[in-house]
Amino acid sequence: MIMIYKNKTIRFANLDDSLMLLNWYNDGKIMEHAGFPYGLNENIENINNKIKSCSVYTSQLFILEYKDIAIGEMHYRNIGNLSVELGIKICDFTKHDQGLGKIYLSMMIDFLLFELQYKKIVVNINLNNFISQHVYETLGFIKTKVSVDSWTNQLGQLQSSVQYELNKNNFINFMK
């Protein structure tokens, strides 16, 4: 599957992407925002298995391309009750602060809510990630839960997270 909006593409991840994903996941600078400053310590076999196990109705991994160059990844996971959990990473730091995440999210949200007919999209974000919180709020997500000191990062520091939810009625689509 491929979604295209102007010069932005979302496509299924494939085995040819494994090494790139491995590098992104193991890069502490990329993963720091999620509480993994040393990266995820992934291996190629795990990533290949993750890609092979993807299914549109259970979980899916996507590559984000900008002008035909991979700049990040996006994924979703069916969590039951017609709900899906969504995540995104713009891994190319030169593409941050350009509004690209908002467009990629709009593309995926439109697909999840209107094509696959999910009723609710959930995101969980580090409480200190104010930029992501702002992006999700501008798309119509509503803060539903804050979990204070709910997990410990790789540096042994307690971390808090915030959960947001979105349905069709609240979605503000930035592609239109």
pLDDT digits (tens, 9 = 90+) for 9-40: 999 999 999 999 999 999 999 998 888 999 99
Q: pLDDT tens-digit profile of 104-126?
A: 999 999 999 999 999 999 999 99
- Indicate whether this model's pTM tops 0.85: yes
Mean residue pLDDT across the chain: 94
Domain-embedded: residue 61: yes
Domain extent at residue 79: 2-123
Domain-embedded: residue 171: no
Q: Which tokens go with 145? A: 């839960």
Distances (CA, A) of 153 to 4, 25, 55, 87, 91: 36, 15, 30, 18, 20
Domain-embedded: residue 87: yes
- Mean pLDDT score, 147-173: 94
**Could you tell me the CATH number of the domain that includes residue 99?**
3.40.630.30
Phi, psi of 65 (to 5 degrees): -120, 140
> Is the pLDDT confidence value at 87 over 90?
yes
Q: CB neighbours (10 Å) of residue 66?
A: 20
Domain-embedded: residue 85: yes
Within its chain, how far is the Cα of 7 from the centroid? 19
Q: What count of Cα atoms within 13 Å lies in the side-chain half-sphere of residue 25?
A: 16
The number of folded domains in the chain is: 1
